[in-house]
Amino acid sequence: FLMGPTASGKTHLAMHLASCLPLELVSVDSAQVFRDMNIGTAKPEAGLLARFPHRLIDIVTPEERYSAARFREDALREMADIHARGRIPLLVGGTMLYFKALREGLAELPEADLQLRAEIDVRAAQEGWPALHAELARHDPKTADRLRPTDAQRIQRALEIVRLTGRPLDALFAEQQKTPLPWRVLALALVPGERRVLHERIALRFGDMLQQGLVGEVEGLRKKYVLDAGLPSMRCVGYRQAWEMLEGHLPPGELRDRGIYATRQLAKRQLTWLRGMADIESIDPLEAGVESRLLRRVREFLETEAEADS
């Protein structure tokens, strides 16, 4: 596993490893699964993808929903295929929930109830998501404490589960049966030692996305697909802010600053996830010689595993 916050250099380092070792890349990114969403998701350009193919990129349309459960199923299939070819999967990305789901398995949760979701959406339109967040806090305070009052998708799902089961999410997660992976894992986390430098990278990258045509990309998506602001694809950082601008809810002059702020908040959440994950090794991607250090560590792991299997 190669995990890290946005703009920490994961893609560059993953390609460096794949150029030196018999690895194949599997993307762990809840935004890069969507087709035609290239600029705002920072997908590698076509030439790089031709040299270093990434599995689980461009697998659903922006109209669809893609879950952690589906990711786990897809990733296990791709990992098994890579192993069958005599190579080693390198899972790279920043969607920490996907890494957790893959490593530990998922709790058995009820399937989506479309009628109940519609009822929750109607209430949200009338009262606002902060009001529903307050309701969730009364029934499931631990989950509500982890969510922002505007996190529509997760508030909706948590309320749906409480309504369907009469129990909070934490109680269900506590009962989940761990489903460990059938392979040994080296979990590496890119944790920048200088948060300021990460913030500078984020600002530069979002500025580049705007110059490359992020707003035009969102306009094209709105023409090609049947989309709304509530879909997971349009709630991705950058796309949400561009959508709000196109709808007239965000002044064009504020788009850059709002997008940078949202991306920094995403990086903060990703780092919080990493700090709470067990059995990971941290590497500072800003240190000189990080490519060599990372390659050396992965080689050590592979050699140790090969000796253990022989």
Find residue 3's DSSP bridge partners.
93, 189
DSSP output for 196-227? HHHHHHHHHHHHHHHHHTHHHHHHHHHHHS--
Q: Please answer whether residues 264 and 5 qualify as being in contact, where contact means their C-beta atoms are separated by less than 8 angstroms.
A: no
* Backbone phi and psi for residue 275, each to the nearest 5 degrees, phi listed first: -65, -25
Q: What is the pLDDT along the chain (310 residues), one digit of tens a residue?
A: 999 999 999 999 999 999 999 999 999 999 999 999 999 999 999 999 999 999 999 999 999 999 888 999 999 999 999 999 999 999 999 999 999 999 988 777 788 888 999 999 999 999 999 999 999 999 999 899 988 898 888 899 899 999 999 988 878 777 665 667 889 999 999 999 999 999 999 999 999 999 999 999 999 999 999 999 989 999 999 999 999 999 999 999 999 999 999 999 999 999 999 998 999 999 999 999 999 999 999 999 999 988 888 7
